[in-house]
A and B are shown apart, each in its own frame.
Chain A
Amino acid sequence: MSLRLFTFAAPARFYALAGALIPWLWAATALLAAAGLYIGFFVAPTDATQGESYRIIFIHVPAAWMSMVLYLVMAFWAAIGWAFNARLASMVARALAPTGAMFTFVALWTGAFWGKPTWGTWWVWDARLTSELILLFLYLGYIALINAIDDVRRADHAGALLAVVGAVNVPIIYFSVKWWNTLHQGATISMTAAPKMASTMLTAMLLMTLAFWAYAFAVVFMRTRAIVLEREQHTDWVGALAHGKQQPQGAGS
């Protein structure tokens, strides 16, 4: 089998590769998260103004980063799947959406937990919070649309179009919300003035980000494998897999 750029674009080969990678990804997730949480909760110094409550930053900030990056990744793979009719890319996009929505929700929820002790409120209509909420709506819209369309091909392509439109709109929404926020002067708390961070804090945050990346890869691969099996259920290799053979045959080469 010769390795080319698109070797693993064949669902059967991707299935085998992802299956081999998943245990390693889970191990990486566990190790990185354990190290990140240990440094974040036991090594990093207590914040001078926020006390111990700031430590949720080690989950909050990486989750917020992931939520934004995953939307772009999802839109990218969906667009590739649409433009080049690459089935696997569409499946990956579909698998990414729930993970992205989960990270958005985690970012919002941990943000509320952080806001309550530091600001005395669960929620302010700050530009970043509002944009993150709108991002969650965009994820939910995408998930709702691809699930509402029964025809797989149409669902993939319509979802791709929506994801691309959303990706184009995200900066517009962000800046309009930001401007709206400064006009209304509702939130007096500014989060933009980031205090200087101790290097251990930065290390912990970096480790947690890597852990979240590994987690996202692991979960998305697992979900993609399930989608591959569902969509390729009539092919020979899935049949062979179902009848007890361990190694799936590459679908022609």
Chain B
Amino acid sequence: MTGVFRSIVARDLRLAARRRIEALLPIAFFVVAVSLYPLGVGPEPQTLRQIAPGIVWVCALLAAMLSLPQLYGGDFADGSLEQMLLSGESGFSIAAAKALSHWVVTGLPLVVAAPAFGLLFDLSGAALLALALSLLLGTPILSLLGGLGAALTLGLRSGGVLLILLILPLCIPALIFGTGAVGAVESGLSPRAHYSLLGALLIATGLLAPLATAAALRIALE
């Protein structure tokens, strides 16, 4: 189990490292999308401070969705996905490894970049920390659920848009508690309850989503 897990993660990361620009595209999308909001909403610091957590979270959500069609798409097209599933290794570890490598490539850079963008919105230091922490707990949920969406829409004509339609409603709890943590810090409350709920969501998603993803992959390939 750990063997196949580790080798898939290592392989996907190596592939991402060899297509650096492609791997960085979601981050670039995030940067551009976040910067558009002040232009649309207006530069009042008070307003910006209020909407910052929501904007950063929603943009992170969309950025995480962008690269998902490629999560299984490449392996599906060249047949290696079928070989992986036929190998007798557990589908759970394959799906979990794929989600982890997706998170390392897109989620982790967002966690690192988000505080820098919080500065653009005049967030306080404590709020920046809460934003980074909530993204650290929340983005793996997005990658896990996104893996399920990618598996369900594998090889479909309009897969990319359909994936977003399927997965975004399921991401709402993570969005609520992620932005809630920052909002709590800003209004002087403890964000701990939000972290606990995000952590609980992460554990539940981490256990269930790879199972569902493995089932979806078998449905797609049977």
Contact = CB atoms under 8 A, between A and B. Distances in A.
14 contacts: A138-B169, A141-B162, A144-B162, A145-B162, A148-B159, A153-B222, A158-B152, A161-B152, A165-B170, A166-B170, A168-B208, A172-B201, A179-B176, A180-B176
Interface in B160-219: 162, 165-166, 168-170, 172-173, 176-177, 180, 183-184, 197, 201, 208, 212, 215-216, 219
A169 interface: yes
A245 B47 CA distance: 71
B219 A154 contact: yes
A134 interface: yes
B158 A161 contact: no
A176 B222 contact: no
Given A154-B222, A161-B215, A165-B170, A176 B177 contact: yes
Among B152, B153, B201, B215: residue with most chain A CB under 10 A: B152
Interface string B118-151: 0000000000000000000000000000001000
B153 A148 contact: yes
6 residue pairs, one from A and one from B, having the closest CB atoms: A176-B173, A137-B169, A180-B176, A157-B219, A141-B166, A176-B176
A32 interface: no
B157 interface: yes
A173 interface: yes
B113 interface: no
Nearest to A168: B208
Contacts of B169: 134, 137-138, 141, 166, 169, 173
Contacts of A145: 152-153, 162, 166
Interface of A: 134, 137-138, 140-141, 144-145, 148-149, 153-154, 157-158, 161-162, 165-166, 168-169, 172-173, 176-177, 179-180, 183
A176 B172 contact: yes
A3 to B, nearest CB: 34
B219 A177 contact: no
A149 B159 CA distance: 10
A180 B180 contact: yes
Given A168-B208, A180-B176, A162 B219 contact: no
B220 A161 contact: no
A230 to B, nearest CB: 21
B220 A158 contact: yes
Nearest to A159: B152
Given A149-B156, A165-B148, 9 more contacts: A134-B169, A137-B165, A144-B165, A145-B162, A148-B158, A154-B219, A158-B216, A173-B172, A173-B173
A182 B166 CA distance: 27
Contacts of A137: 165, 168-169
A201 B23 CA distance: 60
